[in-house]
Structure 1
Amino acid sequence: MNPIWLPASLLGGLFQAWRTALQERLRAELSVSGAGLVRYLYGLPFAILFAVLWLSVRGDSVPPLTSAFLGFAVAGALTQMAGTILLIMAFGHRGFVVGTAFSKTEAIQVALVTALFLDEHLPPLAWAGILLGVAGVLTLALAGSGLTARQLGQALRQPAALCGLGAGSMFALAAIAIKFATAKLAGVDTVGSALVSLVVVMTIQSVLHLAWIVARDRGTLRAVGRSWRNSAQVGLLSALGSACWYTGFAAAPAALVRIVGQVEVIFTIGFARFYLRDTIRWHEVVGLLLVAAGVIFALLAAM
């Protein structure tokens, strides 16, 4: 594994939590679809800038975009779009922290899929980290509601849980597709393959989402244009976060990147408390400690 995966995963968690907090505030100005569009449309220019600068500094040319690469890029783009919309919908049902918490089951979903179908096995400590992390996010999501064991099954059928779990599944599939896409680019280093992949994926997402809004909801497009100051910040953080995630996927097993990336939950609680002014309760502190323990276990497994 390329050691760059670790700082990339940690920074990816920070930028994603920051971006999601800004995106949540945009919901006061934009629809769910509009809040999702700004991530791609305003993020694409920054992604192009990052790729051009990196390739120029290294003296590399743009690698050939093969049909295999484009196939995985399209798969990653579509599943990531679906995950983003589901995550924003989850916020509307139970709030910022809980919506993000349900989506964090993505880590175990990535690990299970890659172990079962891709023969990408993790050491026992990494699995322990996954279980602790999942316990942490479920504590964040469910403990404060006072659910009994019998009520737990019913809670998991509620809209927030379904949207969050669905978002986790889509993000898990996106991580795997993007990892395969970066592996199909020849003649560039790990970061270069990640940044080129990011440009292609964001281009696909921007074109598809923009076409849908032009055809179905032009009022949202005008609102996206009016919100350019806040939307540009979301775009920048989206490009930074995705660049970090893509670099991590290119450098290490996707499941390991996502386990360490659960530090996003820690940052999410921080942003919820100090930026969105949400009240933090005791069960969220417990969940936070469990997530932190899971990340530590994963780091020990990678040593």
Structure 2
Amino acid sequence: MTWGDVEILFEKLIKPATATPDPLQIFKLSFLDQTAPHSYASLLYFYHPADQDDGKTSISSAAEISERLEKSLSLVLTRFYPLSGRISLSEGGDIIDSVNCQDQGVLYRETRLNCQLNAFLKEAYEDTNLIHLLAPRKLIDNVDDLLVAPLVRVQLSKFECGGLVLSVQTLHTVGDGFTGTTFTSEWAKISRFGMMNDPRFLIFDVASSVLPTINDISRKIELFPPPNRRPQVKTVMKRFVFDEAAIARLKDEIMATNCSLLLERQPTKVEVVTALIWRSLIRAAQARHGYLRPSMTSLS
């Protein structure tokens, strides 16, 4: 097949199951939000056919999966109400000011690729640009785009084998990677268990109440500088692949040391790989600066 051939089955706007109350319809942004890049932070979740039939769910068809995703997405948006809104500008129209939370909705799209998921992943290891087929790619190039852009874009990609890839993109103005993982985690809980009576208490206005805004510090920035004035930054993308055997050896090495006596349980794959990368960064910083610098990492 031609990898560029992706069939869009449909796309729609998903709105919260219940309307956002009037007092919450203006979500003020902090300085960090106002100066964030106008791009999306993306997360991709891969599901092989076997992953969907784990004996714990009653989903038996692609149609049921779609229906459950849409319904649970609508429910979780009632908790994450700012993500259903749209960016608003200040009265002068020169800076980002807030999010208009009138339940405009998030983009939900389903697509189909006429290939096997394993075959796609094998090719994607060699050509990482193929990953872009699994998520909406429309960029935000001007103010008009920014004001109408959904703050969250979701794409469910279906493969011939029954495999699925779920892409969740969050506009950086209102969220980052942590926001995205928290959102998808709550979405997954609701999708599996339904709305619970003791929802996690979420507060969204802490940053704007603590940090100053651009108006507060009397600083003006251009929303979209002319192209010839935008910094030309060269970016490099690298991929580090840890196979199952390599991770298993790392875990065995850890458990064979005296450090294992301090562990309450065997470390997970993510913890082992994170520790290896963290150790490498510590050693690189020590070699560069000539001394051991304090550092900290966190797994959310």
TM > 0.5 between the two? Answer: no
Q: Per residue, is there more strand in 1 or in 2?
A: 2
Q: Per residue, is there more helix in 1 or in 2?
A: 1
Higher relative contact order, chain-length normalized (CA < 8 Å, sep 6+)? 1
**Structure 1 length-normalised TM:** 0.27
**Structure 2 length-normalised TM:** 0.27
Report which of the two structures shows the higher radius of gyration computed on alpha carbons: 2
